[in-house]
Amino acid sequence: MFGWTLHGDGRDVAPGEVVAPGERLRWPATAAMGVQHVVAMFGATFLVPTLTGFPVPTTLLFSGIGTLLFLVITRNRMPSYLGSSFAFIAPITAATATGAIGSALAGIVAVGLLLTVVGIVVQVAGVRWVDTLMPPVVAGAIVALIGFNLAPTAWGNFQADPAAATITLAATILGAVLFRGFLGRVSIFLGVAVGYVCAIAAGAFDVPNSVTGITPAQAIADAAWVGLPEFHAPDFAEPGTWSTLAMFLPVVLVLVAENVGHIRGVATMTNDPSLNAHTGRALIADGLSTTLAGAAGGSGTTTYGENIGVMAATRVYSTAVYWVAGFAAILLAFSPKIGAVFNSIPPGVLGGVTTALYGLIGIIGIKIWVDGRVDFSRPVNQYTGAVSLVIGIAGFSLQIEGFEFGGIVLGTVAALVIYHLGNFIARARRTGADDRPVLPAP
What is the model's pLDDT at position 186?
63
180-191 burial, b if ≥16 CB within 10 A, otherwise e? eeeeebbbbbbb
* Per-position pLDDT tens, the chain of length 442: 678 998 888 877 787 788 888 899 888 888 888 876 776 666 567 778 877 888 888 998 999 999 999 999 999 999 988 988 877 887 888 888 777 788 899 999 999 999 999 999 999 988 788 778 888 898 888 878 877 887 887 888 899 889 999 999 999 889 888 886 556 656 777 888 899 898 888 887 777 766 567 888 888 888 888 998 989 999 887 766 777 788 888 888 878 877 887 787 778 778 888 888 898 999 999 999 999 999 999 999 988 666 666 676 678 889 999 999 999 889 988 988 877 887 788 888 888 888 887 887 788 788 889 888 999 999 999 999 999 999 989 888 887 765 567 787 788 889 999 999 999 998 888 775 544 444 444 4
- Angle, CA of 234, 108 and 339, to the nearest 5°: 80
Find residue 24's DSSP bridge partners.
6
What is the model's pLDDT at position 435?
45
For residue 250, which of 404, 412, 385, 396 has the smallest C-alpha distance? 412
Cα–Cα distances (Å) from 300 to 66, 289, 290, 310, in that order, read 10, 8, 5, 22
Cα–Cα distances (Å) from 57 to 186, 192, 302, 343, 433, in that order, read 20, 18, 17, 10, 62
What are the backbone dihedrals phi and psi of residue 163, each rounded to the nearest 5 degrees, phi first? Answer: -65, -50
What is the model's pLDDT at position 432?
59
Distance (Å, whole) CA 170 – CA 163: 11
Amino acid at 122: V
Let me know: does 83 contact 71? Beta carbons within 8 Å: no
Distance (Å, whole) CA 295 – CA 108: 8
Distance (Å, whole) CA 44 – CA 188: 8
Length in residues, the chain = 442
Contacts of 406 (CB under 8 A, 6+ apart): 90, 91, 94, 149, 247, 395, 396, 397
For residue 52, which of 231, 298, 254 has the smallest C-alpha distance? 298
For residue 105, which of 277, 239, 233, 193 has the smallest C-alpha distance? 233
CA atoms within 13 A on the CB side of 396: 15
Distance (Å, whole) CA 384 – CA 376: 10
What are the backbone dihedrals phi and psi of residue 6, each rounded to the nearest 5 degrees, phi first? Answer: -75, 130
What is the model's pLDDT at position 356?
84
Let me know: does 63 contact 357? Beta carbons within 8 Å: no
What is the model's pLDDT at position 313?
63
Let me know: does 206 contact 215? Beta carbons within 8 Å: yes
What is the model's pLDDT at position 309?
62
Contacts of 352 (CB under 8 A, 6+ apart): 158, 164, 165, 166, 167, 168, 169, 170, 172, 191, 195
- Angle, CA of 422, 424 and 428, to the nearest 5°: 120
Rg (CA), the chain: 23
Let me know: does 66 contact 293? Beta carbons within 8 Å: yes
